Structure 1
Amino acid sequence: MILIADSGASKTDWRVINKNGEISQHRGIGFNPNYQTAEEMANELQDDYLLNLRGQIDTIYYYGAGCTSQKNRLQVTNALRSIYKKAEINVDHDLMAAARATCGNQPGIACILGTGSNSCDYDGEIIINKRPAPGYILGDEGGGAYIGRKFLQDFIHEEMPKKLREKVLQKFQLDNQTIIENVYQRPFPGRYMASFCRFITEHAADPYCYMLYYNSFQDFFKKTVMKYDDYKKKPVSFVGSIAFYNSDILRNAAYDADIQVNLILEGPIAGLTLYHKELL
């Protein structure tokens, strides 16, 4: 049996491919070795669905945020090894997941717009170039944490439309101190900031919310996509909830930037499942 995982900062999608080709699925908590130790991740893996697969899994393909360095990949491998002691474990970056899910064996530019953001230039087999991804403090343009941060900044400084601010107060009972505590004192501030994107998407007809997304997508293009060779000639695909649930705004921003949008997927797990099933 094959176990496939696509893990981001907020959630992990799991798929199991049985020997007869049948597929089962599960969604659990997200992981990131940049912010968690192997022991912390191993504790989070104590999930009934995953534990019930012990002794049955032959191969694991894990794609995750923060899995760029060998050190981080080893941390994830050790966490998985704590449960699946005899399985062959393959850990790769979430960029490879995006590339394989959207491009398959064809060249293109693959992007992630979820809680965070990232991108790569893919030749149909390997990633040939990628831009820096310095995280939610120094980067993540176009991602949920980046958009949520701007939203909260505007709330704090009272620079969003008054009627929208009233809706925010009514829905979240938000105040400046609560924001400060969640961003600076509690774990996973990126998730917290990104959590406001659902509200922003629900109000995307409001010019303020629309432009918050539009400008953030333009920032992403300028920092990443536009720096790849011949980016105007290559199909550009996206995975992630921010891209998927705001696809109309994303396509408009891409059109204005002369970028050819190919696929926009909520997550790469379905494409990854097909990719690995074809290799059986």
Structure 2
Amino acid sequence: MILIADSGSSKTDWRVIHHDGKISQHRGVGFNPYYMTSEEMAIQMRNDFLVNLETEIEEIYFYGAGCSSSERKAEVSSALETIFHHAQIQVDHDLAAAAHATCGHHSGIACILGTGSNSCDYDGKEIIATRPAAGYILGDEGGGCYVGRQFLMDFIHEEMPDKIRKAAIDRFHITQNIIQDHVYRQPFPSRYMASFCRFITENKADPYCYGLFYNSFMDFFKKHIFKYQDYRNKPVNFVGSIAYYNSDILRKAAADAGISVNMIIESPIAGLTLYHQELL
């Protein structure tokens, strides 16, 4: 059997291709070797879904955020090996997953707008160019953490509409001290900041919330898309929950920026499953 994973910082989509062609699926927590050790990932991977398959899985294809360097890939492989002792394991970057799922065998630009953000220029076979992914403190423009961070900054400085501020207090019971504790003292601050995006999306009819996404997407275009050669003549594709659930704002921002948006999907896991089925 084959195990496929598409992992971001907040969640991981798992698919199993059984010998009879049946496909089973599971959604679990996210993994990012930039912010987690191999040991921490191994502990979280030891859930019932994976452990119950430990003797049956023969091949693993793991696509993950933060898996761009050989060192990070080795850390993820090590975590998987604690469960799957005899499986062949291949770890690749989540950009490869985005490119395979949205561009297929054609050239284009593939982007990730989830908890974090990233992008690449793809020639139909290989990734030929990327932009720096500076992480949740120095980058992640367009991603949920970036949007959530601006929202929380505006909350602390009382620079948002009163009705949005009151609604946030009623829903999350947040204060400046609670926010700072989660951001500076608790684990996974990027997940925490991104967690406010559902609320912002639900209120995107309000000009303030709409503007949070619109301006964030424009920042992403400036740091990423505008720097790819001939970007105006290439289809630009997006994967990730932020892009998917705010696709109306994303398409508007892209149109204003002269960018041709092709596909917007929430997760590349379905495309990846088809891709690996074809290799059987």
The TM-score with structure 1 as length reference comes to: 0.99
1:255 maps to what in 2? 255
Instruction: Map 1:60-99 onto structure 2 (within 5 A).
Output: 60-99=60-99
Note the alpha carbon deviations across 1:33-72, whole angstroms, 9 max, x for none: 1111111111111111111111111111000011011111
Structure 2: distance between partners of 1:23 and 1:106 = 27
Give the letter for the 2:54 counterpart.
R
**What secondary structure, in the 3-state scheme, does the structure 2 residue paired with 1:243 have?**
helix
State the 1:20 CA deviation. Answer: 2.1
Note the alpha carbon deviations across 1:49-104, whole angstroms, 9 max, x for none: 11111111111100001101111100000110111111110000000010011111
* RMSD of aligned alpha carbons: 0.7
Indicate whether 1:203 and 2:217 are aligned.
Answer: no
> What is the aligned length?
280
Indicate whether 1:124 and 2:129 are aligned.
Answer: no
State the 1:156 CA deviation. Answer: 0.5
**What secondary structure, in the 3-state scheme, does the structure 2 residue paired with 1:112 have?**
strand
Structure 2: distance between partners of 1:82 and 1:124 = 35
The TM-score with structure 2 as length reference comes to: 0.99
**What secondary structure, in the 3-state scheme, does the structure 2 residue paired with 1:4 have?**
strand
Instruction: Map 1:33-44 onto structure 2 (within 5 A).
Output: 33-44=33-44
Structure 2: distance between partners of 1:200 and 1:100 = 30
Instruction: Map 1:97-112 onto structure 2 (within 5 A).
Output: 97-112=97-112
Identity fraction in percent: 67
Note the alpha carbon deviations across 1:242-266, whole angstroms, 9 max, x for none: 0000000000000111111111010
Gaps of 5+ in 2: none
Q: Which aligned segments of 4 or more residues in structure 1 are displaced greater than 3 angstroms?
A: none
Note the alpha carbon deviations across 1:202-232, whole angstroms, 9 max, x for none: 0000000001100000000000011000101
Structure 2: distance between partners of 1:165 and 1:73 = 41
Gaps of 5+ in 1: none
Note the alpha carbon deviations across 1:117-165, whole angstroms, 9 max, x for none: 0000011111000000010100000000000000001000000011111
Give the letter for the 2:257 counterpart.
A
**What secondary structure, in the 3-state scheme, does the structure 2 residue paired with 1:25 have?**
strand
State the 1:22 CA deviation. Answer: 1.2
Structure 2: distance between partners of 1:237 and 1:46 = 34
**What secondary structure, in the 3-state scheme, does the structure 2 residue paired with 1:89 have?**
strand
Indicate whether 1:223 and 2:261 are aligned.
Answer: no
Structure 2: distance between partners of 1:58 and 1:255 = 45
Instruction: Map 1:95-174 onto structure 2 (within 5 A).
Output: 95-174=95-174
